[in-house]
Every structure is written in structure tokens, then in C-alpha cells.
Structure 1
């Protein structure tokens, strides 16, 4: 019930934002603050000054970035602001090619209430040089700058914005309330490292609607402390699919609950719908519960449905370790399409905390040519299956 109420609030916010955006009377054009759209001049100071004046003005205000190409170093747009603040990006923003030009983030919104960031402009993270450099340089930081992050933002609406070739991830929310991403386009090569599309962390009430995401990592990553997340009508591919986790590696992590994924298509991804947790002990169990995956199409997907509670990429976990993440009340309904591996549904749950109430309802997955006959695998899982089950259910 709480998830439905929060999603309704997100939709209401979108309606209000779209209806009020046309009534803005106070515009702050970055060109009036010395910005130069030549793709070379650093516009960081001009952008920050325009934001500061807008943020400190009453009523509905808008920072305008007209058409053109703007080179921008790290900018931090900090609140609180006095009213509804709109950032209208019509041009292309280009990040420095240096992978170390900023720590963690390129464009950052912090402590803002009632924020709209809209396109049709584009963020270009210029990630290719960073990927190549980090492949050769073993001292390279594992976390390259994310193109746009939202920290402790309440009532945010990001729409019709494009992001290409991020150095790290493209978008991230942390500590946010009631955020909507609508019609965003995200693109990076399938072999680009750590270029998550949208990462959600410690946030409540996030809606992603009608997005097109292709990356070298997770299209959408949902991690610690995320709850009441709704994902609908998203096309994902290439990438690592729509993922929850990894979870359960640190004692400070928080529960993940009330996630709904509906009417999405995954094409040529290394995973489809994935929940993963570390095979490591915690001081107290972490709970993952109330997930619904419904009406999902798979096209040539490795691991279409996978719960992996033996995740240990570093290889340092003991064979005796079992995940301390409790997974319960997860339903997969009307999942159909083609698998590029023989195991279509792979449910590897924790031996210490077995998965509870896992539902497979109408699963129709078939093999690509040359893959061989499909099968399902279950371990340490309790649940049930209903309707058509192709291949045969292991529950």
C-alpha cells in the first residue's frame, strides 16, 4: 500500500512540474553569466553563478542552458533553494577527458527540494579515454566520476535528458525522496567498465518510466537502503540487466523492499532480472522483500532470471560462508523470450537463510539456436510455480 501511495505522489509531482514549468517568469540564462558555447572554454563558474542566483530567488525559477556545446568541469548545485528550481539543458555538456578531474561526480545536485532537470540536451562524459587509461593503469581509482548525481534531493523530476559515455555511472540517487526519471536515454559501449545507467541507493520512492538504457554494466542497479522503486517500460541493452545488489558485504547496509519492474524489455544483456548478495557473514541479517517482476520480454539474454547468493568476485570468500541476506516474497510473472544459456531460471539461495515465497507464474523461455535444451536450477529456495512453465519449474 505504501509503495502505491508513493508512486502516486511521484506521478502527481510529474503532473504539477509539467503544468507549472510553462508559468516560470524568472529565467537565468547561463549566457548572461559569461558562458561560451565553443566546446573548449570552462563554463563551470558561469553555471554556478546562474544556479546561485536562481536558487536564492523566490517563486518558480529556471536556469537556462541554450543550444550549443559547453565544456564544464565539476559543478555542485547546492540547496536549499527558495522555490521550485528548473534546470533546462538544451545544449550538450562535455566533461574533461582527464579521468581524475573530479572525485566521484561530475554534475551534482545536493539538498534541493522541488527540482526539475530537463532536456533535450545531452551529457557527454568522454569516458573512452578514462576506460583505456584505467585498463592500463593499475593505480587508477576504481570509482570514476558519475555524470550526474542527486544527493538528498526531495521531489525531483528528470526528463527527456540524454547521457553518453560516462566515465563511471550515468545517474545516481543517494538519500533521495520521490524521484522520477522519465524518457531518459543512456548510452555507453557494452564493454565499457562500471558505466551503470541509473544507480539507486538509500532512496525512497524512485520511479523510472519509458527509458532507453544501454551500458557496459547494470542498466539499473538497486542497492542498499532502496525502497518503493517502480520501473516501467524500460528498454535495456546492452548491459548487465536490471539488478538488485550486490548486497550483504557490510554491516552498515540497509534493507531493500517494495520493488516493482513491469513492461520492460531486455535485449543482448549478460543478465536479465538479477538479485545478488555476497557469500559473507553479517552481524545481523539483511532483509530483501516484496519484489514484483511482471510482463518482461527477454531477447538473447544470458541468465534471464537469477538469484545469486554466492556472489564473490574477489574469490576470497570461504566455502563455509553463506549469505546473511534474507530474500522473501519475490514474484516473477509473465516472463517470456529467449535465453542464451542453458539455465533459464537459476535460484541459488543462501544455505543459512533460504529464500522464502518465491513465485514463478507463467514463465515461457526458449533457447537460442545452438544453446541446447533449457533447464532450471533451484537450491535453498521455498516457493511455488503456476501457469505455463517452460522449461519445467524447479519449484
Structure 2
């Protein structure tokens, strides 16, 4: 007899209780797994961490540590209150390059803001140096202070003029990366005497770092570019890179913009498991040595979904680099995405597992490029893939150059065993060699022997075979796949390998270019190759030399 009462649905309650238990057990297991796995899972690229990261982080704002905007400097207003009373020389875990740091045990993160007035230890410093000291104080408090929980350094909105700084780890937190959120516009000092080493912002010895935000680093490199005689001059090599990552692991760099770097926009050395995503690296096409990203002695590096317009390589992958992925990058202007240059210096390390895909090149001098120097340095570049790439008016869409750095000598060489294939019916004996070289051509390569070359090509467009000392770098297992678009020169594919170490395992699959240059005499395309063992599949336009 129910007496108007409804008994509870015991089966439903049991099901809900069981489901709740399973959920709680699963959540607990997930939490345990998250805590026990490698920290690398924290740094995968995805949605903007600055927006979605719900971690309760303690915020360290650079203005609370004495940093001033340009407006505040010009206005001569009261200096911001400063945490602590340490001079730059005493700062642990960070400093202006060239100055000694303090011991790791020093800490002042929990000191309260000094209400008595500004810190006078920076007296005599330039405004850029004062801001540098303030930025370093902020980093030390967040990274090396007494607080061991999750922290965030904030560069708020406003324009900050700052000299060179070093942000050094290791940081105290063992489970969460330290975050640097860039909201403002950060300008580099133009006084090169302030740079005792060739870096502006340096992050080093940090395991777990997120650099995020929609702010900008402006290297203000215009005056430096003007003072350089050429791209190989000493003034070029001594100019500071904007962002240097030295032995930094498990890192995400996202959202930021770098403008007008004096040298490289970003440089990774000795890094592991770093993702760079959704960044803009911008400088004029004629700005020397402004590589978007240079990678060396690093592994597990991903460069994703970014725009690079520079005066040099958009991405250059140097010695000792392994397991590098570049995907969905728009490059141009610039010199392309390059492996190398390799072999310029002794004892350089080999390069392997390089994957470049879904990239677009617009008005670049090179597209997919591998470049090595001739000389005594030996090494190997292997396991390289360029695929699913669009070229838009690129001067050298596909190029292997093992005579990099000796272009002027190449023009004077006899061609030796050069091979060249011409698309279309037009062929022309190579002209413009000069009377002295041309007169001896038949004696050098055999009476009456002619080297076919696409009609209408300027002599500077032919790379020519490597000459002089041969490169001792071995290039192998290289794949160019599904690369299409327009070439601004008649030589769309140039594979100039070393006579001492011929290229092996070079595959070209579905290569399809059309000519879109300035020549009115011919629109035919050619390929050229020297000392290369090549296989091909699918469409080949231009026809492939063998």
C-alpha cells in the first residue's frame, strides 16, 4: 500500500552513485598521472594560455619593482616604489650581462613595498639601465624568491625602454612553469655600449617557462643596420639578438611580436622541448642578419602558425639541431627556411630529423634550402623533409648549396660535369662566360662540347657547380614533396652538392612550378644538379636532372 507516497528509484540512485564514484576515481587517477608525468605536457601549443590558464599565480608586476614607461620618464613624475634594496650586482638569478650575480640563497620576494621612497641604488644609471634593474628585480622575486608557488611576471601596457637583461633560473616552483606575460611595448636601448654580450633579453637555465601575451619587443635595429658594411662584417656579428633562450627546456612562446631586431629576432641554444606558436617576427627585407629564429644545439623544437618577414632566414636550423618541426609558417620577405649554414666552424655537430610542412613563401630569395660551407669541418645533415609548400615568386624555390659563402668564385668556374635539363624546346649554349674563360672552354671540357642552358637566363641565375675546396658535410635522406607555385628565376631546382661528399637519397615528389619573373625572352624553367643521387615521383616541372 503506497498511501500516496512514491518510493525512491533505488536502481537510479545506484546508477548515479556508481557514476559519481567512477568520476571521482577517474579524477583522482588523472590528478595522480598529471603529477607524475613529465613536465613536458604543460607546454604543448594550443589556445592562448594567458586567457585560459586558470592557475592561481602570484603576480609580479615590473612597475611595482621600479619600471617606468617612457611617458613617466619624460614627465619626471615620482619614481615607482621599489621592492627591496639590492643593487644589480647583488641580484640572485639574474643580472645585466657582464655583471656578477648574487648567490642563489639570497631572496627578497616577500619583502613589502618600500613606502619610504624610491630605491637609490640605481643612481647614475641611464633610464634604460634603471628599467633593466627593475625588470631583473621582478624576475628574481618571481623565480628565485621565497614564494615557491606558481608565479607570473607581468609587463603591463605602456612603452618601456630597457637595456640588456638576463633572466636566469632555475626557478623555485617544481611543478608549474613561470609565466612572463607581455602586454606592453618593450623597446631596446640603441646604445650599443650597454651590450657587453650580443643579447638583449636572455632567458637561461629555466626548466618550465611560458612567454605569452600580445605585446611587442622592438629591437630598434635601424641604426645598427646602417653601420654595417656587409652581412658578414664584425659589426653584424656583434649586434645583439632580441630574445636569446640559453639552455631553456619545456617552454611555450606564444602570441608575442618582435620588430626590427638588431640581429636575430630569436635564438635558441641548448634548448629542449620548446614550442613557438602564433608569433610575428618582422623586419624589412633589406635588414641584414635579422633571422626570425635561429636554432642550434637544440632538440624537440616546434615552430607553428607564425608569420615571419625578415631580412634573412625566416628560420635557420644550425649545427647540433635534432627533431625540429616547422609547420604553418608564412615566410616573406626573407631568405627562406634553411638548414644551415653548416661547416663554417670546426667541430660543428650534425643535424637530423628536420620536418618543414604547410608553409608559404612569398617574395623570398630562397624557399627550401640546405647550405654548407667548404672547408675542413665535417658533419652530416640527414632525415630532412620539406613538404606541402607553396612558393609565390621565390627566386630559388628548392636549393642545396654546398658552396655557401663562395658565390663570387663560382661565376669564374668551368662547368666540369654539370648536368642541366631544360623544360620546353629552347636551348642555348651558356653565354657571358667572358673571353678568357670562354676561349679555353673547349680545351677544358672537350672540343665542341656544349652545356645546354635555358634560353634568356641571366648568367647570375646559374649557381654553377661547387668549386675550390669541397664541403665535407654529407647530405642524405632528403625529401622535397608536393612543392608548387611560382619561381622568379628560370632555375627552379638547384642541387649543388659536394664532390667530396655527394648527396645521397634525395627524393623529389610532385614538384610543379611556373615561371613568374622579369625575363621577356623565355618562361621555360630548368633544374640543375651536381654530385647528387636523385629519385623522383609524380609531376616534375621543371624536368629533373639526374
Same fold (TM over 0.5): yes
Of the three residues 535, 543, 546, the one matched with 1:384 is 535
Higher helix share: 2
Q: Which whole-Å deviations, capped at 9, do the CAs of 1:130-175 have from their partners, x for residues lacking one? A: 1112349x87353310000000001011000000000111000000
CA shift digits 1:21-58 (9 cap, x unpaired): 32133110111111111265431111100100100231
Do the aligned partners of 2:242 and 2:266 also contact (CA within 8 Å) in 1? yes
Structure 1 residue 13 and structure 2 residue 37: aligned?
Answer: no
Aligned to 2:514: 366
State the partner residue of 1:70: 160
User: Using the alignment, how far apart are the partners of 2:409 and 2:495 within structure 1?
Assistant: 22
In 2, distance between residues paired with 1:141 and 1:213? 20
In 2, Cα distance between equivalents of 1:134 and 1:213: 23
Are 2:49 and 1:49 aligned? no
Change (3 A) 1:277 1:155: same
CA distance in 2, matches of 1:30, 1:121: 14
Could you say which structure has the larger radius of gyration? 2
Q: Which structure features the higher share of strand residues? A: 1
Question: 1: CA distance between counterparts of 2:524 and 2:314?
Answer: 28
Is 1:151 paired with 2:254? Answer: no
- Once the two structures are superposed, residues 219-268 of structure 1 have per-residue CA deviations (whole angstroms, 9 ceiling, x without a partner) of 11100001100000000000111011111122310010000000000000
- Residue deviations 1:340-371 (CA, integer Å, cap 9, x gap): 11110000011111101100000001101544
CA distance in 1, matches of 2:295, 2:280: 17
Q: 1:132 to 1:99 in 2, by over 3 A?
A: farther
**Structure 2: distance between partners of 1:313 and 1:88:** 44
Matches within 5 A, 1:303-318: 303-313=396-406
Structure 1 CA distance for aligned equivalents of residues 545 and 238 of structure 2: 39
Indicate which of 461, 475, 500 corresponds to 1:352. Answer: 500
Alignment partner, residue 328 of structure 1: 476
Deviation at 1:211, TM superposition (A): 0.6
Aligned to 1:33: 65
Deviates more, 1:37-46 or 1:16-25: 16-25
Give the whole-Å Cα distance in 2 for the aligned partners of 1:352 and 1:319: 11
Residues of 1 paired with 2:296 and 2:337: CA distance? 14
1:179 equivalenced with 2:278 (yes/no): no
1:85 pairs with 2:117? no
Match of 1:164 in 2: 259
Unaligned runs of 5+ in 1: 1-8
Q: Tell me if the contact between 2:333 and 2:363 (Cα under 8 Å) persists in the aligned partners.
A: yes
2: CA distance, partners of 1:304 / 1:314: 18
Tell whether the 8 Å contact from 2:43 to 2:251 is kept in structure 1 after alignment: no
Distance (whole Å) between structure 2 residues aligned to residue 96 and residue 331 of structure 1? 43
**Secondary structure of 1:140 counterpart:** helix
2:377 counterpart of 1:287: no
Distance 1:335 1:141, change over 3 A: closer
Structure 2: runs of 5 or more not aligned: 1-39, 74-126, 411-465
Q: Are 2:54 and 1:22 equivalent residues in the alignment?
A: yes
**Structure 2 contact 43–252 (Cα < 8 Å) conserved:** no
| TM-score of the superposed pair, with normalisation by structure 2 | 0.68
Asked if the contact 2:45–2:277 (Cα under 8 Å) also holds between the matched residues in 1, the reply is no
In 1, Cα distance between the equivalents of 2:135 and 2:468? 54
Distance 1:389 1:11 in 2: 43
Tell me the distance in 1 between the aligned counterparts of 2:48 and 2:278. 15
Output the CA distance in 2 between the equivalents of 1:154 and 1:268.
34
**311-320 or 257-266, which deviates more:** 311-320
Q: CA deviation at 1:17?
A: 9.0
Q: CA deviation at 1:13?
A: 3.4
Structure 1 residues 173-217: Cα deviation after superposition (integer angstroms, max 9, x where no partner): 000000110000011010111111000010011000001000111
Query: Partners in 2 of 1:139 and 1:255 — Cα distance?
Result: 26
- Which stretch shows the higher mean deviation, 297-306 or 23-32? 23-32
In 2, Cα distance between the equivalents of 1:156 and 1:269? 30
Contact preservation (8 Å) 2:236, 2:289:
no
Superposed displacement of residue 279, structure 1:
1.6
In the alignment, structure 1 residue 127 sits paired with structure 2 residue 221? yes
Shift of 1:315: 6.2
Change in 2 beyond 3 A, CA 1:50/1:238? same
CA-based RMSD: 2.2
CA contact (8 A) 1:147 1:168 kept: yes
Q: Distance in 2 between matches of 1:278 and 1:334?
A: 28
How far apart are 1:20 and its partner, in Å?
7.7
Do the aligned residues in 2 keep the contact of 1:99 with 1:167 (CA within 8 Å)? no
